[in-house]
Amino acid sequence: MGFLQIPGLGKVHFHEYGSGKKPLLAFHGYGMTGKQFHVLKNSVLPEYHVYGFDHFFHGESDLDGWTEQQILAGMPKVMVRAYLDEWFKIHGKQKVSVMGYSIGANLALILVEEYPEMIEDIILMAPDGLSVYKGFHFLVHKPVGKYLFGLATKSKWLAPSLLKNLRKVRFIDESLYNIAYNEVDTGKKRLDVYYTLNIIRMLKPDANKVAGMINQHQIKCILIFGRDDKLFPKSAAMPFINQLDNAEVHEVPLGHWLVIATLDEYLAPQPLSNGEGP
C-alpha cells in the first residue's frame, strides 16, 4: 500500500496486490475500497499487479483542505490525469492498464481519454460513464434534485422512505435497494453518499472520444455486465460498444453487485481437457 500526493487535491491511498507483472490502476465502486478486486484471484490477479485506489470519503484517501463548497462544485476532470502523472513519478513512465467498476469506471475511462498512448488494457465492470444515468444526473445537476438530495442527507427518514418508494415502483430492484439502504442508515453514511456523488459529478468521460482512442491505439478492451443489472446494464452501453473494433464483452448472470467470487469463476481460464474419456 502507499499514497499519491496530488497537488490541489489531496492524499490518495492505494492498495497493492496481485502476482502478475503488468501494472493495473483500479478504481472501485461506491461503499468499497481499493481492495475490492481482491476476489478476482484466479482471473485478474495472476496477470496484473493491482494498484487499487480508495475514492475520497472511502478508505484512507483524504482531501487536502477542501471546503464543502468545493466538494459540491465537483473535482475538475483534469485532476484525474494527475493520478497517472504522480504514479509515474514513483514507478517510472511505462505502459499501464486500467480497471473500473461502477462509478470507478469514470476514472478509468478518463485516463484512456487523457493518456491513450500509455494504456495497454482497459477492463470495465458494470461501468458508469458510458451513458447518462438519469437518477444520478438529477441529484447532482438539476436544481430540484440537488435541493432534495441535500434535504435527504440531513433527514433520518426521507432517504429510506424515498428508496422504499423507488423499489415499490420498480425504479430499482431488490439488490440495489439493499445496497443503497445500507448506505443511508446513519447520518455519516448519508453525508458520505452526498459528498461522493458530488465530488465526482464533473468526472464524465467523452465516450465517443474514448472509443476512438481504444481503436486508434489498439487498447485491449474487456467489458463485463450483469444480466440483471438495473443501474448500468449492457443495453445502455451498446452505442459505445458498437463503436469498438474488437471488444471482448461478457454478460454474466448477476446483478449490479458484480465483483464477487462468482465473477472470478466465470472469468478464470478453464483448464484444457486432456482428451481422456470418463
Q: What is the pLDDT of residue 272?
A: 52
Residue 88 in this model has a pLDDT that exceeds 60: yes
Q: What is the mean pLDDT of residues 13-18?
A: 97
Residue 139 in this model has a pLDDT that exceeds 80: no
Residue 207 in this model has a pLDDT that exceeds 80: yes
Let me know if residue 147 belongs to a domain: no
Query: pLDDT of 122-133, one tens digit each?
Result: 999 999 999 866
Q: Quick check: 38 and 5 in contact, CB under 8 A?
A: no
Q: Quick check: 115 and 81 in contact, CB under 8 A?
A: yes
Let me know if residue 171 belongs to a domain: no
Let me know if residue 157 belongs to a domain: no
Q: What is the pLDDT of residue 278?
A: 41
What total of structural domains would you count in the chain?
1
pTM (two decimals)? 0.89
Calculate the average pLDDT of the chain: 89
Residue 183 phi, psi (nearest 5):
-100, 5
What CATH number is given to the structural domain containing 33? 3.40.50.1820
Q: What is the pLDDT of residue 170?
A: 67
Q: What is the pLDDT of residue 179?
A: 67
Query: pLDDT of 248-257, one tens digit each?
Result: 999 999 988 8
Q: Quick check: 110 and 84 in contact, CB under 8 A?
A: no
| pLDDT over 90, % of the chain | 69
Let me know if residue 230 belongs to a domain: yes
Let me know if residue 16 belongs to a domain: yes
Let me know if residue 236 belongs to a domain: yes
Let me know if residue 255 belongs to a domain: yes
Q: Tell me the residue range of the domain where 261 lies.
A: 2-131+204-267
| pLDDT over 70, % of the chain | 88
**Would you give the DSSP letter of residue 230?**
S
Provide CB contacts within 8 A for 241, sequence distance 6+.
223, 234, 247, 249
Q: What is the pLDDT of residue 275?
A: 47
**In which band, very low, low, confident or very high, does the pLDDT at 47 lie, cut at 50, 70 and 90?**
very high
